[in-house]
Chains A and B, each alone.
Chain A
Amino acid sequence: MREPMNDGRPIFVQIAEHIENEILEGSLEELGQVPSTNQFATFYKINPATAAKGVNLLVNEGILYKKRGIGMFVAEHAREKLIEKRKKTFFNDYVAAMLHEAEKLQIEKETLIQMIEDGQK
């Protein structure tokens, strides 16, 4: 598992993102059970209220759902929803930063495209 707790953003956001990544990468399956907030808290040594806040963020987005008295589960179509959501921010999060750096280094558009093609092979 990645160590998500030290990139400066609020910890609950990092917890939510960590769960999202697990779902996107398939470590957490749809309809499968998610570790409890206490387990997250113990694992990352964070306050359980913070862990709960991160989990609730995903409950509100319909990515996770609560079964009373049993625990937290990954919702149906959660993966699809996450892919849609992340695609929307992909340009700002990755492409824009790449273009900015390429401009500084005077990398031509064609070279950039070539790099992407080579990287995908």
Chain B
Amino acid sequence: MTTEIKADHVSLRLGNHNVLSDISFQLKGDKIYGLLGRNGAGKTSLLSLLASFREPTEGTIRINDEMPFENDRVMNQVNFVYAKDQSNETETVKGMLEFAERYRPNWNAEYALKLVKRFKLPLDQKVDALSKGKQSALDVVIGLASRTSVTIFDEAYLGMDAPARSVFYEELIKDYAEHPRCMILSTHLISEVASLIEEVMIIDCGKLLLHESVDTFMSHGLSVTGPAEKVDQLTSGLHLLKQQQLGRTKSVMIYGQLESGRRAEFESAGFELGPIGLQELFIYLTEHEGDEE
């Protein structure tokens, strides 16, 4: 069965602070989703609602048509992997794996051991004695080997160095290809996950800014470079994310679906056209006034 997550007008208030306001979306099917947002945008808050660490103030969340909060049937199929404070965790790596095995019905011990080897984790060492990077790797191993229908990685790989992250991405794709499930990646390392995710959600200041397939999202960005005057003339009225000028050459970033024929018009004007990367699009769309200071 493929997974379906539905958020319906979800809001979260903590004290008198609106952390999330009126968020609605549907995640249909076993895909890899990317949740992007700036610091404090509400990513972790939203994910902790999906993982039922808390309840929304308003609205509902349903996972496969069931309310997940304090619902065992749903909860043992949802795994929220995040960077916890493990400075007092005296359990060994092996002990942590055994613990996970008890609570995760789809746990694959063989796969877990294979990952332990790939990340070079010492089985008998206590977790609090591991480096930050190794602690993250252990979280990731448990997240992958649990094979839960909903697996959320919230900056879980923060402490991992570049080679370890590369192993993580490789294992994630390999295991997802063989055992498709709903995976949600929340990260600041956007360029690293851009090719892994199929749909992107961006939240900004507690609101859902957009949710669409990565292909659609990327197709809405276009960078146009040419003689300044001509660029101004032909791009007036369009949604411009950024403008830069160097001498008489101007470069603008356009966002939005272009009318047919517009591209050809740019081409015949001799403009240089190019795509805008996911990370750049994200940066310009979530930039607020005063950010430059």
> Chain A residues in contact with chain B, CB under 8 A?
5, 8-12, 37-38, 41-42, 44-50, 53
Contact = CB atoms under 8 A, between A and B. Distances in A.
B198 A42 contact: no
A47 B197 contact: yes
Interface in B19-37: 31-32
Interface in B159-188: 166, 169-170, 173-174, 176-178
Contacts, number: 46
Interface majority SS (helix, strand, loop, mixed), chain B? helix
A121 B234 CA distance: 46
Interface string B272-289: 001101000000000000
B231 interface: no
B195 A46 contact: yes
9 contacts: A10-B218, A10-B219, A38-B174, A38-B177, A42-B170, A45-B166, A45-B196, A46-B173, A48-B177
Contact of B177 (A10, A12, A42): A42
A45 B170 contact: yes
A45 B215 CA distance: 17
B174 A42 contact: yes
Contact of B274 (A5, A8, A45): A8
A38 B172 CA distance: 12
Residues of B in contact with A, size category: 20 to 34
A53 B214 CA distance: 13
A48 B178 CA distance: 10
A93 to B, nearest CB: 14
A41 B173 contact: yes
A53 B216 CA distance: 13
B177 A41 contact: yes
A70 B275 CA distance: 36
B195 A49 contact: no
Contacts of B169: 45
A8 B198 contact: no
Interface in B188-205: 195-198
Contacts of A8: 274-275, 277
B99 to A, nearest CB: 30
Contact of B198 (A5, A44, A49): A49
Contacts of A50: 195, 198
Nearest to B32: A47
A45 B275 contact: no
3 nearest CB pairs, A to B: A38-B177, A46-B195, A42-B174
